Structure 1
Amino acid sequence: MSIKLVAVDIDGTLLNSQHQITPDVKQAIQEAKEAGVKIVIATGRPISGVHHILEELQLNQAGDFVITFNGSLVQDAHTGEDFVKNTLSYQDYLDLVHLSNTLSLPMHASTKEGLFTANRNIGKYTVYESTLVNAPIFYRTPEEMTDKEIIKVMMVDEPERLDKALETIPAAFFDRFTIAKSAPFYLEFTPKQANKGLAIIALAQKLGLTMDQTMAIGDQENDRPMLEVVGHPVVMENGSDSVKAIAKTITKSNDEHGVAHAIREWVLN
């Protein structure tokens, strides 16, 4: 067995379409843990949206790590200590507020405290995100955000509006930020030096592992950085065609226990 670390995305990967972890997936993860394999949740969610998953999978014990905010934050899942932390500056935030206004897209900023929006009419996808990741929503004007430690900004709207906006975002923003869709209705902006791939590289180095000993399982564009750096990139059958193109293997869909299949087929076999 050569794989010693498996990074697993949550939405569309670990969870099925009913937002549940199937018993088969849970069992396969426990089998991998018992075999000495590090299972690391790697998600765009904030830490508040991961706690219950870590507890359910017993991935919050000594020696466990978790990657959140699309790689901007890597924490010891047992102690909560930050191992990697990248944040956006206040000027970054102001520039993204201006961009969202120019594009007429609802926007919110994510911190460890919750979601902060300057939109008086809070978008439905901000409300959805709040419910999904168990994070409160706060209304704050840009002037009231000077003391906030912003880890990620999200522009949220109908898929066709985000796709159109992506075509018009000035190149300078792509130079400054990591920009990726984590769902058809989520467009995420994180620090340029932060993504799931860089987080896994840092974690592998900390654990004394080579990249040949790592696997990642994902389904969307925000998973691309980790799929590109690991030795064994696995994409879900329900994943986007763009990330399937870089996969070493395609596993079953999230409704067919795809994570369990990948672990048993290419890690434990």
Structure 2
Amino acid sequence: MSIKLVAVDIDGTLLNNKQEVTPEVFSAIQDAKKKGVKIVIATGRPIAGVTGLLEELNLRNQGDYVITFNGGLVQDTTTGEVLVKEPLAYEDYLDIELLSRKLGVHMHAITKEGIYTANRNIGKYTVREASLVNMPVYYRTPEEMTDKEIVKIMMIDEPDVLAAAIAKIPASFYQHYTIVKSRPFYLEFMNKKVSKGTAVNQLAQKLGLSKDETMAIGDEENDRPMLEAVGNPVVMENGIPELKKIAKYITKSNNESGVAYALREWVLN
């Protein structure tokens, strides 16, 4: 059975280490589109952080979709129509913000409009994230966050500081939220219903596709749910070892146009 939907992570997967789409990856994606394959960006970034890529890859045509916020938002890239939206409640924000202060780590919350932090001394990884996803940063006290529709909250700090904090997170938080470590300095909190895997499944169901007709390509722990959800999980050569254990295929690294290799070997052949 041919593959008709491919969900592709961005950082460490679609992009090389220079944050570029290689000509080989661009060409393979265009060829897949011509064959009628849905190429769907699936990322932890907000929509503002992927708009440029969608334009660059010609993924803003009728029938194109994008998965953002690690599955917290799924929408049509042309009309902006929202297929899936699972925000966090204000009470969730208060719980996670208090936990971050107890653990001594920086934290910010992300809406579709911007990044909000209660840290007076704004962490460098908040600044990094804002630059990466092209979003403004706002300082707001917890009391000023009542009217914000928060899609994702991130604890962000130096890898050793964050690792020490993660070891102290109560088990109840893992029961209440989807928590994924997307980078050594990023820990993400989302609605318990949210994951890249759930989003891919919901989109596949909307399109009338079976599991065998779906593929996902990723490299990090936050990609695990979508790799487990599809019939054809592909892990990058530069992916973490734990993910390679669940892969059907191992493709080349992001610096060797691994997405292009995967599409040509297992989708376009």
* TM-score between both structures, scaled by the size of structure 1: 0.99
1:162 CA displacement: 1.8
Which residue matches 1:85? 85
User: Unaligned regions of 5+ residues in structure 1, if any?
Assistant: none
Q: Quick one: which amino acid aligns to residue 87 of structure 1?
A: P
Displacement after TM superposition at 1:241 (Å)? 1.2
- 1:114 is aligned to 2:90: no
Match of 1:259 in 2: 259
Is residue 54 from structure 1 mapped to residue 54 from structure 2 by the alignment? yes
Q: Which residue of 1 aligns with 2:180?
A: 180
Match of 2:215 in 1: 215
Q: Is the 8 A contact 2:13 2:236 kept in 1?
A: yes
Once the two structures are TM-superposed, the CA of residue 248 in structure 1 deviates from its matched residue by 1.1
8 Å contact kept, 2:104–2:165: no
Equivalent-residue separation in structure 2 for 1:79 and 1:138 (angstroms): 28
Structure 1 residue aligned with 2:35? 35
In structure 2, runs of 5+ residues without a counterpart are none
Deviation at 1:52, TM superposition (A): 0.3
Which residue does 1:159 correspond to in 2? 159
CA displacement 1:49-75 (0-9 Å, x = unmatched): 000000000101110000000000000
- The residue aligned with 1:9 is 9
1:251, distance to aligned residue in structure 2 (A): 0.5
Secondary structure in structure 1 of the residue aligned to 2:120: coil
Deviations 1:22-72 (A, max 9, x none): 010000000000001000000000000000000000101110000000000
Pairwise mapping of residues 174-253 of structure 1 onto structure 2 (< 5 A)? 174-253=174-253
How far apart, in 2, do the equivalents of 1:102 and 1:2 lie?
Answer: 50
For 2:242 and 2:102, how far apart are their aligned partners in 1? 28
Paired residues, what number?
269
Residue identity matched to 1:60: R
Deviation at 1:207, TM superposition (A): 0.2
Q: In the alignment, which residue of structure 2 is the partner of 1:99? A: 99
Partner Cα separation in structure 2 for residue 145 and residue 199 of structure 1? 26
Q: Percent identity?
A: 67
Offset at 1:164? 2.0
- What is the DSSP-based 3-state SS (H/G/I as helix, E as strand, rest coil) of the residue aligned with 1:121? coil
Q: In structure 2, how many angstroms separate the alpha carbons of the residues matched to 1:111 and 1:261?
A: 35
Which piece of structure 1 moves more, 242-251 or 84-93?
Answer: 242-251
SS in 2 for 1:41: strand
Deviation at 1:81, TM superposition (A): 1.1
The equivalent of 2:63 in structure 1 is: 63
1:133 is matched with 133
Q: Which amino acid aligns with 2:88?
A: L
Cα deviation code 1:194-219 (max 9, x no counterpart): 10000000000000000110000000
CA distance in 2, matches of 1:218, 1:102: 33
Could you tell me how far apart the structure 2 residues matched to 1:245 and 1:164 are? 26
Q: Which aligned runs of 4 or more in structure 1 are off by greater than 2 angstroms? A: none
* Aligned-residue offset at 1:243: 1.2
Question: What is the letter of the counterpart of residue 105 of structure 2?
Answer: L
Return the offset for 1:92.
Answer: 0.1
What amino acid is the match of 1:226? Answer: M
Render the CA deviation track for 1:150-207: whole Å, top value 9, x for unaligned.
0000000111222222221101000011101111111000110010000000000000
